[in-house]
Amino acid sequence: MSWAYLAGFQLLLNGYKLISLGVCGSLIIIHLFLQTVFALFECSTTKDNVLHRSSAKSVAIIIPAYQEDPLYLTQCLNSVKNIEYPSHELRIIMVIDGNSKEDQYMMDMFKEVFCKEDIGTYVWEGNYHSRNFNRVIQNKEEDNNKRPYRDPVNLFYGESCIGNPERLDVESLIRNKHFVCIMQKRGGKREVMYTAFKAVGNLVDYIQVCDSDTKLDSRATMELVKVLDSKENYGAVGGEVRVLNVTDSFVSFISSLCYWITFNIERACQSYFDCVSCISGPLGMYRNNVLQQLLEPWYNQRFLGIRCTFGDDRHLTNRVLSLGYSTK
Nearest to 198 by CA among 238, 160, 232, 250: 160
C-beta separation of 235 from 288 below 8 A? no
**pLDDT for position 321:** 93
pLDDT at 15: 52
**pLDDT at residue 109 in the model:** 95
What is the helix (H) or strand (E) element at residue 80, kind and residue range?
A: helix 70-81
Contact criterion met (CB below 8 Å) for 97 and 186: yes
- Residue 46 makes CB contacts below 8 A (sequence gap 6+) with none
Strand partners, 209: 62, 284
pTM: 0.82
Largest CA distance in the chain: 100
Cα 6 to Cα 107: distance, rounded to the nearest angstrom: 57
Half-sphere exposure (Cβ direction) of 79: Cα atoms closer than 13 Å? 22
- Distance CA(62)–CA(324), nearest Å, equals 24
66 touches 98 (CB < 8 A): yes
How confident is the prediction along the chain (328 residues), in pLDDT tens digits per residue? 455 544 555 555 555 555 556 667 778 888 888 888 888 888 877 665 555 555 678 999 999 999 999 999 999 999 999 999 998 999 999 999 999 999 999 999 999 999 989 899 999 988 888 765 444 333 444 444 444 444 434 444 445 555 577 888 899 999 999 999 999 999 889 999 999 999 999 999 999 999 999 999 999 999 999 999 988 999 999 998 888 888 888 998 998 899 898 888 888 888 888 889 999 989 999 999 999 999 999 998 888 888 887 888 999 999 999 999 999 9
Phi, psi angle pair for 223, to nearest 5°: -70, -40
User: For the chain, how many residues are written?
Assistant: 328
In this structure, the number of other CB atoms found within 10 A of the CB of residue 162 comes to 8
What pLDDT was estimated at residue 327?
93
Contact between residue 193 and residue 129 where contact means Cβ atoms under 8 Å apart: no
- The fold of 59-327 is Spore Coat Polysaccharide Biosynthesis Protein SpsA; Chain A (3.90.550)
Q: What are the pLDDT digits (tens) for 23-57? A: 677 788 888 888 888 888 888 776 655 555 556 78
Closest CA to 278 of 289, 288, 290, 267: 267
State the SS3 of 237-267: EECCCCCCCCCCCHHHHHHHHHHHHHHHHHH
Give the start-to-end residue ranges of the domains of the chain: 59-327
Cα angle 302-305-311, degrees, rounded to a multiple of 5? 25
